[in-house]
Amino acid sequence: MEIKSDDWLSGIFGYPVFQVYADVHENVEDQLHDHIASQSKALYWAKIPTDAVMIGRQLLAQGFYVVDVNATVERRANIEDRFCDARGIEVHAYAPQYESVLDVARSCFRRSRFHLDPNIPNDMADTVKVEWVRNYTRGLRGDKLFVVAKGEHVIGFLAALVYERDGMMVANSDLLGVLEPFQRLGVGRILLEAFVREYKKRCDFLQGGIQMSNISSLRLSERMGFFVSRAQQILHLHV
């Protein structure tokens, strides 16, 4: 088992945050108990496969609880696509005049693992998303930030990153958000299509993460050729 400091989240929360990495067949209770006992205030989190029952039981025994079940969806980049009519909605690369993207990030998320955790205040959960997107606007994270705007007022965004996996390039839809009045109007699909257009010739695979409870997003991803490649539970523990 390995317990690593999550420095980025620690900076936002103002106290230590740790991510727990463990092999699915590993006995972690003693080591984890000792580490937790050494902290006066901390947040621990872990991401484990949904079928990792043994490690899950050990984490639950230490006080962890499930806050999210997440599906990774992916597809080959070069499959044939049939894009929808954008109906006059234009997607732009982020530029300084679209700084209101941070307002979208602050207001549009309600069911992230941070928002679902009853021990994390909503304003703190909102701040996590704002700072996540701010790193994109500053060029500190990811490859590209796509935005949809009415004038200079952003109504939706998609943050994308690229990484190498086994010698193949993978583009990942890191975070997608749409301002609440514009949700279910096709803005999310248009952003996802812009992501596909951008990376289908540059990368070998396209990927994203979706909450298993978000049935509409899972269905949209299926219509665009994505399939569920794995499912993971995310657990939190507060000290």
Cβ contact 64:235 at 8 Å: yes
SS3 12: helix
- How far is residue 190's CA from residue 118's CA, in Å, rounded to a whole number? 33
Please state the rounded mean pLDDT for residues 199-219: 94
Q: How many structural domains are present in the chain?
A: 2
- How far is residue 44's CA from residue 238's CA, in Å, rounded to a whole number? 6
Q: Is residue 156 located within the same domain as residue 46?
A: no
AA identity, residue 153: H
Q: Is residue 57 located within the same domain as residue 77?
A: no
Per-residue pLDDT tens over the stretch 101-159: 999 999 999 999 999 999 999 999 999 999 999 999 999 999 999 999 998 899 999 99
Domain boundary among 45, 63, 81: 63
Q: How confident is the model at residue 28 (pLDDT cuts 50, 70, 90)?
A: confident
Cβ contact 186:85 at 8 Å: no
Q: Which domain holds residue 96?
A: 73-238
Q: Is residue 107 located within the same domain as residue 21?
A: no
- What is the full DSSP assignment across 172-217? EEEEEEE-GGGTTTTHHHHHHHHHHHHHTTT-SEEEEEEETT-HHH
Whether pLDDT at 88 is above 90? no
Q: Is residue 133 located within the same domain as residue 224?
A: yes
